[in-house]
Amino acid sequence: PLIATATAIALYNLLFLLYARQLRAHESTALRLRQSTVFAYVQIALDLIALTTLLHFAGGVENPFAPFFVFHMIIASILLSPTASLLAALLASALFAAMAFLEYRGLVPHYNLTGLINPDLYRHGTYVLASVLVMTITLFLVVYMTSSISTRLRARTNELLEVSRSHEAKSRELAELNTRLQKLDAARTKFMVTVTHELRAPVATIYSCLDLVLGGYASREKERQVLERAQQRATELLDLVKDLLELTGARQAEVQAEEAEPIQLADVLHNVEELMRVEAENKDLFLSVDIAPDLPLVKAKPDHIKAVWTNLISNAIKYTEPGGIVVASLTHNPDYVIGTVRDTGIGIAAEDLPKIFEEFYRTADARAVCPQGTGVGLAIVKRLIENYGGRIWVESELGRGSKFTFMLPRVR
């Protein structure tokens, strides 16, 4: 019987080993955890039954290895919950008590340990009862102490894991912040290089012109031309400085946006239309304004919205040929007030559209039509619109005009 029992133990442990390998290969973590718990319950139960069977065939309550039940209780307390560990102790106690009772009553045969211990101890009721009580108390005490220690260790482990996760999250935040700072530094460097380049060209031209005049290298007839050229470059330089100041103001406007009051975009648009109408008429362009009735208010500073309309309409006029059309309109939906500026101008090539709102970016077609320009206007517009929680985009095809659309949240 002992060999048969040992063989059965070896076989079911081999099956458990094969099942555990198959379980580890499963993709679902939740399924692995659930089946691992069931797996542990079944294995501990079978081990307790096997140990009881071995004890029965090797002396029963007389066997000095009966305390081996304790090892399974320790394992159960470490692997399973406190409730499951108590159930394991209850099962072990019940199996041991059943074995002792059945042998005591003669319902199952008793196998003596010949020459090792008194062969009649299993018949003494007091000894059997004491053995069962001691075993039961020992098993439950072991489960209680081990479970208490394991519970505290799990709690401490969970605390450490939580701290580790918190540190990892902070590390990720610091890494993201560092990446943003690096990008900001790179953008600032690029901005400074671009500004330096843009400023250097007109200053160099002005210096050359003045050098020609002051050095007496230009004749009387050409002095005026040289000075006019210097004046033109000085005007371009002033325009660049003005745009840079506006761009800096747009970058600082995010803080000021919180102080904005509700305004009517239509009023600002009418004011800009009056300023731009003469320029449009001088170029033989048809400039019209279309405003939907009952237009909601938006929170923004009037001078910022004026800069938006001025840049968009000015660009439309600048890049539309004589006889063309420029239309500025305002409408709304349940969440936003929507402004658009459409023209029948030169349009924008598909490859230029993703970069059209970048600072200092000008398309080759725009430079061909108007060599003077800083390429900052649309960057200012985008920054101002986004500062107030809106967004702006462009739809255009080369040679078929452009349509700039922006949206600002309406006041509730």
Return the pLDDT at 331: 96
Q: What is the pTM of this model?
A: 0.50
- Give the position of tokens 């031209």: 205
**Nearest Cα to Cα of residue 299 among 389, 380, 404:** 389
Residues 6+ apart with CB under 8 A from 403: 340, 341, 342, 343, 394, 395, 396
pLDDT on residue 240:
67
The Cα 141–Cα 373 span in angstroms is 87
Percent of residues in the chain assigned helix, strand, coil, to nearest 5: 70, 10, 20
pLDDT in tens, the chain (412 residues): 778 878 887 887 788 777 777 777 666 666 666 777 777 788 888 888 888 988 888 888 888 888 888 888 888 888 888 888 899 999 999 999 999 999 888 898 888 776 666 667 777 888 889 988 998 999 999 999 988 888 888 888 888 888 888 898 899 999 988 888 887 677 666 666 656 655 676 777 787 888 878 877 777 778 778 888 788 778 767 766 776 666 666 665 554 556 788 999 999 999 999 989 999 999 999 999 999 999 999 999 898 899 899 999 999 999 999 999 999 999 999 999 999 999 999 999 999 999 999 877 888 888 888 777 667 789 889 989 998 999 999 999 998 999 999 999 999 8
Tokens 């320790």 appear where? Answer: 74
> CA-to-CA distance for 306 and 361, rounded, in angstroms?
22
Strand partners, 396: 402
State phi, psi for 154 to the nearest 5 degrees: -65, -40
**What confidence score (pLDDT) does residue 309 get?**
95
Q: Under the phi-then-psi rule, with left for phi > 0, alpha for psi from -120 to 50, and beta for the rest, what region is 360?
A: left
Q: What b/e string do you get for 267-298 counting C-beta neighbours within 10 Å, with b at 16 or more?
A: ebbeebbeebeeebeebebebebebeeebbbb
* Phi, psi values for residue 264, rounded to 5°: -100, 115
Q: Which helix H or strand E contains 263, and what residues bound it?
A: strand 261-263
Question: Would you state the pLDDT for residue 281?
Answer: 92
The token pair at 261 is 């009051």
pLDDT at 187: 62
398, containing H or E segment: none
Measured in degrees and rounded to the nearest 5, phi and psi for residue 6 equal -65, -40
Give residue 232's pLDDT: 77
Structure tokens belonging to residue 132: 């069962």
Rounded Cα distance between 403 and 326, Å, is 10
| The token pair that represents 144 in the structure block | 């209680």
